[in-house]
């Protein structure tokens, strides 16, 4: 009897489940990072080319207050003064309220209450800047006119108050993140010593969080420096006003002024042409503004963790009764500071609902505009959606690639440089983007007013938001997940495609929606490149000389005719439609954030 040895036939290895080589990954990632740097270089290059095309007397530009193109006098000191005054006034109002609200959200309220209140503060960020300007025209200017007894109410004070409201959500959000990053063991150690809540916050929580809270202020300052349209509508735009005494300084607050952004947002950049000393002086103002934004951004993002190592000794001051009274007083003030943004949001929504009631009429959404201020906003809605959708398609791959490269592949020093460049691009004044798009796309390339040109100039608004949210998500990938992927023999490219991209995708979509919510309300870039007030078809048929109508520029044009009741009604209705669109985008972003990021983002 013979026996056979059973042998198993060789089986080819199953490669169906193994990720395929993904060499294209690095091309995509580096293209995204290159695009971020290139977009910033385009703005700087545009300003540099304009300066090189004419002569700029920098001493005159920085020290002379008079601005008279007909006499070839280009002094920007009064505009620099106006920028400094409105930004300082905005910080004086916004910082105490924002810091108090952030501490209340982080240290005083349970998550079930902090979550909706933080949502209210974040919804303020969804209100487009043109809507803030409209509210400033219709509500704030009459109040200042009555209090200061000046006609009109256009003033530096009005601009400062509008900016204070606009930067409050930024300061609150970044400050809350800095406070919640403090470990709970620090609080527990302080409470174990018998300190009151005020003393715990002051002595144990604020020292390590102080660097991040200062960063919040400086990032808010960068936003204030770059805002154009809201300030343009309420500041009055008076050249050459520079006080020489403290009394004149106080008086100047209630009178019209001029800032760097309002000068750039006015008609002069178009009237100055594309070369010569006039245009060079305009570009010089833009370079000064960009330098101020870059300085504020770099100072705001550097050294956030340095404060974590500094600790103050925990101190008891006063009797137990006096300490408890102080604790209750401070708690009341901080909770009151938190209620202010919430009440402000409720008031703004009530104002929009009452004055923009036409937005609740379906015919307002589905009929086209007629005449100067009649009909609906169908064409404007279609144009806005077209611009947002095209911007999203262009910005998503670039921001996603840059964010992954910053978070996973670049060295620490390179990642820091890329992140700083990304933040500076995000803080760059959109009016500069519009001017660069006007010269490069509309004039040099011959596109004229084009919807595609408008979408392209909005890409730098969205890309930084996507890149920063993606890089933050990448850095939160658990170490064990990375180790498991590498132990399976995956290459770095395969690891990025199979692990990093699926893990970061929800945060990327959140960043995309947040960026599009901001882009939906941008007005300054579109005024120069893409939109007209009337006469454009609902859907463009080409690219060259194919403008569209859009809600932000529609509101901007109507709001300047505040003496016409029909125009005012149309502006409020259009503002309500725009707020609803941006609120839907932001609500979707918050829902995704809460779904995929967990309690860390909401407490």
Q: Domain tally for the chain?
A: 1
Give the domain CATH number at 94. Answer: 1.10.3720.10
SS (H, E, C) 500-562: HHHHHHHHHHHHHHHHHHHHHCCCHHHHHHCECCCCCCCCCCCCCCECECCHHHHHHHHHCCC
Domain that holds residue 204: 54-299+326-355
CB atoms under 10 Å from CB of 512, counted, come to 26
Say which residue the tokens 């100039």 belong to: 457
Pick from 12-26, 320-334, 537-551 the range whose average pLDDT is largest.
Answer: 537-551
Task: Tell me whether residue 246 is in a domain.
Answer: yes
Task: Tell me whether residue 235 is in a domain.
Answer: yes
Task: Tell me whether residue 126 is in a domain.
Answer: yes
Task: Tell me whether residue 507 is in a domain.
Answer: no
CB atoms under 10 Å from CB of 234, counted, come to 31
Say which residue the tokens 């964010």 belong to: 403
**What distances in angstroms separate CA 302 from CA 61, 183, 404, 517, one per listed residue?**
30, 21, 21, 27
Supply 548's token pair: 């569209």
Give the pLDDT confidence score for residue 410 in this predicted structure. Answer: 61
Question: Quick one: pLDDT band at residue 321, thresholds 50, 70, 90?
Answer: low
Task: Tell me whether residue 398 is in a domain.
Answer: no
pTM, entire model: 0.75
Largest Cα–Cα separation, the chain:
120
**Rounded mean pLDDT of 183-203?**
78
Supply 528's token pair: 């120069």
Task: Tell me whether residue 95 is in a domain.
Answer: yes
Give per-residue pLDDT as tens, 534-575: 778 888 888 988 999 998 888 888 877 666 778 888 888 888
Say if residues 171 and 224 touch (Cβ distance below 8 Å).
no
Task: Tell me whether residue 30 is in a domain.
Answer: no
Give per-residue pLDDT as tens, 123-152: 776 677 878 888 888 888 888 888 877 787
Task: Tell me whether residue 92 is in a domain.
Answer: yes
């Amino acid at each position: 009897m013979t026996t056979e040895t059973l042998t198993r036939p060789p089986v080819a290895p199953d490669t169906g489940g193994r990720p395929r080589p993904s060499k294209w990954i690095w091309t995509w990632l580096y293209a995204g990072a290159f695009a971020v740097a290139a977009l910033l270089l385009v703005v700087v290059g545009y300003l540099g080319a304009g300066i090189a095309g004419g002569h700029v007397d920098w001493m005159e530009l920085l020290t002379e207050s008079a601005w008279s193109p007909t006499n070839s006098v280009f002094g920007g000191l009064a505009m620099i003064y106006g920028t400094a005054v409105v930004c300082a006034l905005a910080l004086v109002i916004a910082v105490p309220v924002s810091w108090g609200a952030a501490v209340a959200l982080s240290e005083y309220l349970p998550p079930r209450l902090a979550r909706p209140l933080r949502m209210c503060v974040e919804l303020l960020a969804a209100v487009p800047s043109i809507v803030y300007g409209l509210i400033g025209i219709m509500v704030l200017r009459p109040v200042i006119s009555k209090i200061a007894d000046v006609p009109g109410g256009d003033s530096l004070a009005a601009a400062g108050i509008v900016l204070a409201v606009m930067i409050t959500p930024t300061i609150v959000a970044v400050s809350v993140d800095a406070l919640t990053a403090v470990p709970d063991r620090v609080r527990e150690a302080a409470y174990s010593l018998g300190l009151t809540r005020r003393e715990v916050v002051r002595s144990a929580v604020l020292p390590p969080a102080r660097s991040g809270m200062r960063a919040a202020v400086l990032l808010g300052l960068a936003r204030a420096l770059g805002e154009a349209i809201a300030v343009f509508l309420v500041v009055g735009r008076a050249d050459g006003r520079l006080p020489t005494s403290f009394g004149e300084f106080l008086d100047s607050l209630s009178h019209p002024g001029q800032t760097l952004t309002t000068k750039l947002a006015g008609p002069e950049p178009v009237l100055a042409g594309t070369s010569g000393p006039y245009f060079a002086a305009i570009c010089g103002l833009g370079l000064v503004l960009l330098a101020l934004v870059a300085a504020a951004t770099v100072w705001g993002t550097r050294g956030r963790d340095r404060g974590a190592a500094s600790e103050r000794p925990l101190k008891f001051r006063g009797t137990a009764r006096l300490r408890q009274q102080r604790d209750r007083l401070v708690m009341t003030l901080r909770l009151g500071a938190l209620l202010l943004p919430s009440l402000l949001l409720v008031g703004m929504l009530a104002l929009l609902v009452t004055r923009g009631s036409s937005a609740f009429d379906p015919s307002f959404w589905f009929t086209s505009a007629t005449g100067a201020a009649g009909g609906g906003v169908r064409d404007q809605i279609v144009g806005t959606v077209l611009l947002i959708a095209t911007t999203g398609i262009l910005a998503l791959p670039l921001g996603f690639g840059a964010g992954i490269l910053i978070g996973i592949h670049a060295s620490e020093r390179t990642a820091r440089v890329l992140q700083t460049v990304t933040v500076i691009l995000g803080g760059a004044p959109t009016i500069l983007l519009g001017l660069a798009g006007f010269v490069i796309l509309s004039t040099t390339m011959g596109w004229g007013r084009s919807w595609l040109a408008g979408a392209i100039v909005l890409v730098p608004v969205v890309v930084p938001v996507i890149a920063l949210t993606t890089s933050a998500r990448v850095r939160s990938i658990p170490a064990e997940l990375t180790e498991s992927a590498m132990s399976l023999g995956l290459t770095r490219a395969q690891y990025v495609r199979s692990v990093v991209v699926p893990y970061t995708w929800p945060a990327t979509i959140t960043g995309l929606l947040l960026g599009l919510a901001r882009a939906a309300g941008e007005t300054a870039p579109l005024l120069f490149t893409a939109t007209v007030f009337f006469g454009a078809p609902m859907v463009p048929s080409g690219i060259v000389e194919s403008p569209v109508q859009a809600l932000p520029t529609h509101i901007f044009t109507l709001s300047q005719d505040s003496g016409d009741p029909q125009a005012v009604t149309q502006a409020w209705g259009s503002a309500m439609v725009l707020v609803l669109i941006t609120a839907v985008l932001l609500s979707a972003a918050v829902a995704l954030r809460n779904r995929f990021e967990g309690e860390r983002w909401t407490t």
